[in-house]
Amino acid sequence: MHVLWLVSMTLPQAALACGLSHASDVSGGWLTGQLTALRGRADLQLTVACVNGQCKEALCGEHGGVTYRILPGGGDFSRLLQAVHPDLVHIWGTEYAAAAAMDQAARALGLPVLVGIQGVMEDCAAHLCDGVPEAYLHSTPLDRALDRLIPGALLDKLQSSFDALARSEAALLGTARHVTGRTGFDRRAVERLAPRARYYPCNETLRPLFYEGPLWQPRDFGRGPVVLLSQGNYPLKNLHTVLQAMPAILQRWPDARLRIAGWPPLDKGPLLRPLIVRLFPYQRYCRRLAEALGVAGHIRYTGPLDAAAMRQAYLDADLFLLPSSSENSPNSLGEAMLLGLPCVASRAGGIPDMLTDGTEGRLYGQALDADGLARTVTAVLSAPDSGAALGQAARRRALHTHDPAANADALCGIYQTILQEDAR
């Protein structure tokens, strides 16, 4: 069977196959993992189409038995489908414009389409700015004028974007016949948004590097445990609640450190600083909050991390923290679990389907509950084994959830089931 994937990013394998000099492996790790697991299967021919709005022309190449196409923006999907002749189209993600265009083109040609739900944009949009004070949520006419000259991250603009993505997702799912997901959370969303669809469960395979090499080991951190956060640049990831929890953590461990993977807040020097501060209200809020709470000196951004650097960041931490207001099945949590790192997370979305509270990690109630977050982090770090037993149990769970061979078999089984139904 020949399956065409549509993905919203340029995968490293696609960049290599098509002669591009660089493609980041910071995001999209579940796609890289699944590709690696599927490679060499005799029952599957795979073409992967990557949407890249920065490319000026379509590119094509082959690597590891997979054909890759890099498409500028979207391209003519009808022509692509007629050239590739797939038996089935698998659209990874629901909200980007190319997904709807591909779905329409495939349907017009009578091809079956499988939609893979990643996050649930409806829920992301509903909780995007939870806990951020009203004063930071609304831009002025001057802000918007400046933003047209130097694009920033105005929260009302971001909210409008998320709302539009949620509408795009709803429109795509509203006519979908086949949808794959991983959690009870996304299954309930599919039941609501895609009433005509059959739901196929299939777990994700993570980046290959996280299945090999040394595992996390507890250390004597004394007064300075390291808490790792995988993202902090927009409010859905809930850095502000972590900052509110930090004074209680520092009361117990005065040298505790919060490491945040990714870019630090933008700074272009003293001349542009007032403009940057104005155009990035969430970063402004978090900076002011950290300074008011006296925790700014305990925070460090790592800069963007590739797979190897992110793996090392997990190993160098004493606890992984995922406080998001909305998630489905976060890859960062799965990667931390694979390495045996003790984890604390909110109960948002599909997180409870990945990790059992009390045996494989700890979940705290509401994402915005700073006191509950601090108590839960303190409970894990103050355990006699520093959470090592939780981490070991989490690793056993993650090895099952993210088993590459099992997930590849499950996905190919889904493809075969759809094609058999379509042939009737």
- 90, pLDDT greater than 90: yes
- 140, pLDDT greater than 80: yes
Shared domain check, 178 and 256: no
What is the rounded average pLDDT of the residues 352-374?
A: 97
| pLDDT band at residue 263 using 50, 70 and 90 as cut-offs | confident
* Cα–Cα distance, 72 to 57 (Å, whole number): 6
What is each CA distance from 354 to 359, 363, 383, in whole angstroms?
A: 12, 11, 22
* Cα–Cα distance, 244 to 101 (Å, whole number): 43
In degrees to the nearest 10, what's the CA dihedral of 405, 407, 409, 413? 180
- 107, pLDDT greater than 60: yes
DSSP character string of 68-121: EEEESSS--HHHHHHHH--SEEEEE-SSSHHHHHHHHHHHHTT--EEEEP-S-H
CA geometry: angle 95, 97, 102, nearest 5 deg: 100
- Expressed as residue numbers, the domain containing 153 is 2-205+403-423
- 75, pLDDT greater than 70: no
Q: Select from 236, 242, 241, 263 the least CA-distant residue to 155.
A: 236
Shared domain check, 228 and 278: yes
Lowest pLDDT segment from 14-23, 156-165, 333-342: 14-23
- Indicate the DSSP class of residue 342: -
Shared domain check, 123 and 98: yes
pLDDT of residue 294: 98
Lowest pLDDT segment from 120-124, 229-233, 257-261: 229-233
pLDDT of residue 63: 86
The torsion angles phi and psi of 228, rounded to 5 degrees, stand at: -105, 130
pLDDT of residue 20: 81
pLDDT of residue 42: 86
**Helical spans, DSSP H, in 220-306:** 239-252, 273-279, 281-293
**Residue 235 · residue 162 · CB < 8 Å:** no
Q: Which residues pair with 7 in a beta bridge?
A: 50
Q: Any idea what the CATH number is for the domain that residue 175 is in?
A: 3.40.50.2000
CB-based contacts of 194, cutoff 8 Å, min separation 6: 115, 173, 174, 176, 179
Shared domain check, 408 and 383: no
| pLDDT band at residue 264 using 50, 70 and 90 as cut-offs | confident
Shared domain check, 282 and 139: no
Mean model confidence pLDDT for the chain? 93
Shared domain check, 190 and 219: no
Shared domain check, 183 and 92: yes
Q: How many CA atoms lie within 13 A of 313 on its CB side?
A: 26
pLDDT tens digit sequence for 409-421: 999 999 999 999 8
DSSP character string of 150-218: S----HHHHHHHHHHHHHHHHHHHHT-SEEEE-SHHHHHHHHHH-TTPEEEE-PPP--GGGGSSPPP--
Higher-confidence position of 143 and 56: 143
Shared domain check, 194 and 108: yes
Shared domain check, 125 and 87: yes
pLDDT of residue 22: 63
- 74, pLDDT greater than 70: no
pLDDT of residue 56: 79
The torsion angles phi and psi of 271, rounded to 5 degrees, stand at: -70, -40
What is the rounded average pLDDT of the residues 113-126?
A: 96
pLDDT tens digit sequence for 16-51: 888 887 655 555 678 889 998 998 888 999 999 999
- DSSP3 helix / strand / coil % (the chain, rounded to 5): 45, 15, 40
pLDDT tens digit sequence for 213-250: 999 999 999 999 999 999 999 999 999 999 999 999 99
Shared domain check, 349 and 304: yes
Shared domain check, 217 and 189: no
What tokens does 218 get?
Answer: 């507890």
Shared domain check, 339 and 320: yes
Tally of structural domains, the chain: 2
- Indicate the DSSP class of residue 303: B
pTM, two decimals, is 0.94
What tokens does 39 get?
Answer: 């490679």
